[in-house]
A and B are shown apart, each in its own frame.
Chain A
Amino acid sequence: MGVEAELRERMEVTAARFPQRLSAIIPILYLVQQQYGHVTTEGMELAAEVLGTTPAFIDSVASFYTMLYRQPVGKYVLQVCRTLPCALMGAEEVVACLQEKLGIQPGETTPDQLFTLATVECLAACHVAPLMMVNEVYKVHLDPAKLDAIIDECKHGTTPHSDAIY
């Protein structure tokens, strides 16, 4: 089965889980993102077909949510929490340190497509601040030495282990 046919089938299964199929938009866009790295135009067109709506409507939903990427992102997306409880514990220094190490500003991707740097709002783990997510992994109690180690790991192609939050 081709990639698209397989994706369509997984979309169908997901849509069938809900009392009304349109409820499956977000889960289905996550499938697109897993497949292509971001929410592509083709992926949205396919989702629209499966759900019986228009690509424009799908896009209007996709563009509302920060975890659905409408543009390509780096292999490692670093999302640093910037909200007050983290700011009190030095989140600004963490962002500044990453900017210097990676040579990019928040919202940008390195030219080698390895890292995307982003600041995000409260990640609901303020007791282990400052913290960030590296893709789906949490790294907490950040300091410059720890950031060095995380960047090195990523550069060697290994995804860091998730720190315990509780």
Chain B
Amino acid sequence: MEQLRILTQSIEQPESWTLRTPQAQGGYEAASKAIKEYPPDELIELIKKSGLRGRGGAGFPTGMKWSFVPKNLPKPTYLVCNADESEPGTFKDRLLIERTPHQIIAGMIIASHALRVRTAFIYIRGEMILGARRLQEAIDEAYAEGCLGKNLLGSGMDLDIILFVGAGAYICGEETALLESLEGKRGQPRLKPPFPATVGLYGCPTVINNVETLCNLPHIVANGADWYTAMGTEKSPGPRLFSVSGHVKRRGVYELPMGVPLGELIFEYAGGIRDGHRFKAVIPGGSSVPVLGERHLDVRMDFESLQQAGSLLGSAGVIVMDETTCMVSAALNLLHFYWHESCGKCTPCREGTGWFVKTLHRIEGGHGRLEDLDLLLDVSDNIKGKTFCPFGDAAVTPVESMLRLFRDDFEQHIVKRRCVSAA
């Protein structure tokens, strides 16, 4: 039942957000070690060897992402820390931002050394008022103590970090939309390729890494790749921050090795379902991944196992629902989210999410027809794979997966013209 204390090592300490904590000190020591002991290319090799995969959602190998940046271009290379945490059910980056901002800065120094970056950005969502304040204070403190700026940590390296506060748009968590927003435009995704590694911010090579991803770096540098791969599974190594929400007794963030069984996470760490109720369904990786049911509780929480079980690890935001939850209303709730947050650039997504909402609303209100279920799947087929960015595919996921696993909820709503889930 013990949790890991790696990224969350000092979060319980008073004023854990200041430079004077062991975690902050350890982070800058690791950054110093990275600069002194690893030439950039060897540092990229170390991160490749560690098997670290992106914690934002896609799970792409971080070292490989870094190695796509072309070398010896006359243009600068930029690093952007993606702190635009907005995936429904995910609140682990907020913990790292509010409680250990120096760990993020240390990770950014390490990444900047590997990528020869001299100017880096942190894009934080506008609603994170305290987080933005803590980050700016930490950046100021780091400059004052010689941990940022010219000749940082006495290493000869220069790095500036600019904090950018967003203004409310889920899509800006998608990396090319984030870059558009950072350039002062509407946050609408770009067509890929070219990928940001070659054409990113201001047309220059750019690497975008999630907050949690960056926080892993000081620990890998300090303890080595072998230490890191000893945690988790072969293809999904390391610790992971799981955000658990919904109908459990102890909602919160749990730091555990990748591959922890889903049932253990829900019933042991999070204390199980609230009193007097029983488990019905779980979305294991943020709202954009397929829902799972009771027969999936043995699945291990790593990228491969969840994919085999028909879902995805995504952002590791675990939303738990008990028997009072109606899947029609859950689907409607999430589709309202996707409809509201669709950036409007691609017609299938902009219009299709509206169709979803209208049709689900009709079913929820007891006015649905059985043909509506086919209509939902038809709309789904017209969005999937037909949009610039993964948002379209994400939007169809709640509808498709909830219909597949809980078709009865939908049919009952239509036939009996009311909800049969006991609320």
In the complex, which of the residues B127, B244, B334 contacts A123, with contact meaning CB atoms closer than 8 Å? B127
Instruction: Find residues 56-84 in chain A having any chain B CB closer than 8 Å to their own CB.
Output: 60-61, 64-68, 82-84
Instruction: Name the residue of chain A whose CB is nearest to the CB of B330.
Output: A84
Interface of chain B residues 50 through 107 with chain A (CB within 8 A): 85-91, 93-95, 98-99
Shortest Cβ gap from A19 to chain B (Å): 6
- Residue of A18, A30, A133 touching B165 (CB-CB under 8 A): A30
B contact residues around A127 at 8 Å (CB):
91, 243-245, 251-253
- In whole angstroms, how far apart are the Cα atoms of A51 and B184 in the complex? 10
What 0/1 readout, one digit per residue, does chain B (254-280) give for beta carbons within 8 Å of chain A?
Answer: 000000000000000000000000000
**List of B residues within 8 angstroms of A165 by Cβ:** 94, 98, 130
B128 at the interface (CB under 8 A from A): yes
User: Any chain B CB within 8 A of the CB of A17?
Assistant: yes
Cβ–Cβ < 8 Å partners of A138 in chain B:
129
Whose C-beta in chain B lies nearest to the C-beta of A24?
B184
Instruction: State whether A88 and B247 are in contact (beta carbons under 8 Å apart), knowing that A19-B202, A24-B184 are contacts in the complex.
Output: yes
Q: Once bound together, how far apart are the Cα atoms of A82 and B88, in whole Å?
A: 10
Contact between B186 and A61, CB atoms less than 8 A apart: yes
Asked whether, in the complex, the Cβ of B125 is within 8 Å of the Cβ of A124, the reply is yes
- Point out the residues of chain A lying under 8 angstroms from B251, CB to CB: 126-129
Q: Which residues of A contact B317 (CB under 8 A)?
A: 126
A to B contact number (C-beta, < 8 Å)? 147
Q: Is A27 an interface residue (CB 8 A)?
A: yes
Query: Count the B residues whose beta carbon is within 8 Å of the partner chain — how many?
Result: 59
Interface membership of B112, Cβ < 8 A:
no
For window 93-148 of A, CB contacts with B under 8 Å fall at 120-129, 133, 136-138
B273 to chain A, nearest CB (A): 12
Write out the residue numbers on chain B whose beta carbons fall within 8 Å of the beta carbon of A124: 85-86, 90-91, 93-94, 125, 127-128
User: Is B23 an interface residue when CB atoms closer than 8 A count as contact?
Assistant: no
Is A64 a contact partner of B187 (Cβ separation < 8 A)? yes
Question: Complex Cα distance A140/B389, Å?
Answer: 33
Q: Assess the A121–B170 pair: CB atoms within 8 A.
A: yes
Is B325 in contact with chain A by the CB < 8 A criterion? Answer: yes
Q: Knowing A61-B184, A64-B169, A67-B126 touch, does A87 contact B333 (C-beta < 8 A)?
A: yes
B316 within 8 A of partner (CB): no
Which B residues lie within 8 Å of A64 (CB)?
169, 186-187, 343
Contact B167 A126 (CB under 8 A): no
What is the CB-to-nearest-CB distance from B49 to chain A, in angstroms, rounded to a whole number? Answer: 32
Q: Which residue of A lies closest to B169 (CB)?
A: A65
Partner of B89, one of A20, A26, A122: A122
Q: Closest approach, in angstroms, between the C-beta of A149 and any C-beta of chain B?
A: 21
Interface residues of B (CB under 8 A from A): 11, 85-91, 93-95, 98-99, 119, 125-130, 162, 164-170, 181-187, 202, 243-247, 251-253, 283, 287, 317, 319, 321, 325, 329-330, 333-334, 336-337, 340-341, 343
Extra 15 A-B pairs, beta carbons < 8 Å, given A84-B287, A121-B86, A124-B127 = A24-B184, A26-B165, A26-B167, A29-B167, A64-B187, A82-B336, A83-B337, A84-B246, A88-B247, A122-B170, A124-B86, A124-B125, A126-B88, A127-B244, A162-B130
CB contacts (< 8 Å) of B246 on chain A: these are 84-85, 88-89, 126
Residues in B with CB closer than 8 Å to A121 are 86, 88, 170, 337, 340-341
Complex A-B: 23 CB contacts under 8 Å: A19-B202, A23-B182, A24-B184, A61-B185, A64-B187, A66-B167, A67-B168, A82-B333, A84-B88, A85-B88, A88-B246, A89-B246, A121-B170, A121-B340, A121-B341, A122-B337, A124-B94, A124-B127, A125-B91, A127-B243, A127-B245, A127-B253, A166-B98
Whether A150 sits at the interface, judged by CB under 8 Å, is no
Kindly list the 9 A-B residue pairs having the minimum CB-CB distance in the complex, ordered from nearest.
A65-B167, A126-B245, A66-B168, A67-B168, A22-B184, A127-B251, A25-B184, A85-B245, A122-B88
Q: What residues of B have a CB within 8 angstroms of the CB of A166 in the complex? A: 11, 94-95, 98-99
> A20 near B321 (CB under 8 angstroms)?
no
Most buried by B among A20, A51, A126: A126
A87 to B321, CA, bound (A): 11
